[in-house]
């Protein structure tokens, strides 16, 4: 019968510089800030507004709930962003006749023009960000990121504090 050795205090310490969730958050925040400067300076919109524009540009007509789920944004942030974009004439809302509690949001022609101008800037930013990383490393990273995203969705929906998962 062998005794289990308990992990040392050193092994139990949380080192943020090595803690993957923290590191992913830092990378995402830095990338978002840098990209936010681009569309903030050129188009006067913030990160939440850009996320709405990006989702509508890619998928077309969506409800605010759809936008929130796709962009992982709280419904209050989505609502504020849509309201701001609507004031600026970049999106329009149409009633959902099947559920009058929600509406469909679409880009207006002015919103589509902004989306079309931002896309090449965003793609150029992405190219500069990953510059120097080998294409095969990017492919591996994208696979790992997809796996982490799916695991994150699963864990976010099933997290129980008592089992630490």
Q: For residue 164, what pLDDT is reported?
A: 44
In a domain, residue 1? The reply is no
Backbone angles phi, psi at 99, to 5 degrees: -150, 95
Q: What is the pLDDT of residues 69-86, one digit of tens each?
A: 999 899 999 999 999 999
Q: For residue 4, what pLDDT is reported?
A: 58
How many domains is the chain built from? Answer: 1
In a domain, residue 156? The reply is no
In a domain, residue 10? The reply is no
Tell me the C-alpha to C-alpha distance, in Å, between residue 64 and each of 9, 59, 61, 133, 163: 47, 13, 10, 36, 34
Q: How far apart are CA 9 and CA 120, in angstroms?
A: 49
In a domain, residue 39? The reply is yes
In a domain, residue 25? The reply is yes
At 32, which CATH number?
A: 1.10.10.10
In a domain, residue 113? The reply is yes
Q: Which domain holds residue 101?
A: 21-147
Sheet holding 62-63, edge to edge: 62-63, 103-107, 91-95
Q: For residue 159, what pLDDT is reported?
A: 56
In a domain, residue 157? The reply is no
In a domain, residue 132? The reply is yes
Pairing of strands 91-95, 62-63: unpaired
Tell me the whole-structure pTM to 2 decimals.
0.80
């Amino acid at each position: 019968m062998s005794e289990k050795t308990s992990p040392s205090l050193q092994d139990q310490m949380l080192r943020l510089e090595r803690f993957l969730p923290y590191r992913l958050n830092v990378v995402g925040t830095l990338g978002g800030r840098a990209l936010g400067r681009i569309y903030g300076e050129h188009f006067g919109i913030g990160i939440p507004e850009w996320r709405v524009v990006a989702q509508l540009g890619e998928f077309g007509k969506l409800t605010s709930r759809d936008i929130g789920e796709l962009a992982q944004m709280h419904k209050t942030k989505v609502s504020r962003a849509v309201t701001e974009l609507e004031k600026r004439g970049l999106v329009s809302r149409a009633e959902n006749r099947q559920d009058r509690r929600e509406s469909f949001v679409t880009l207006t022609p002015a919103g589509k023009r902004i989306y079309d101008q931002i896309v090449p800037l965003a793609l150029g930013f992405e190219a500069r960000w990953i510059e120097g990383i080998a294409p095969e490393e990017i492919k591996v990273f994208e696979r790992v990121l997809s796996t982490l995203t799916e695991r994150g969705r699963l864990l976010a929906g099933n997290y129980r504090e008592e089992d630490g998962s």
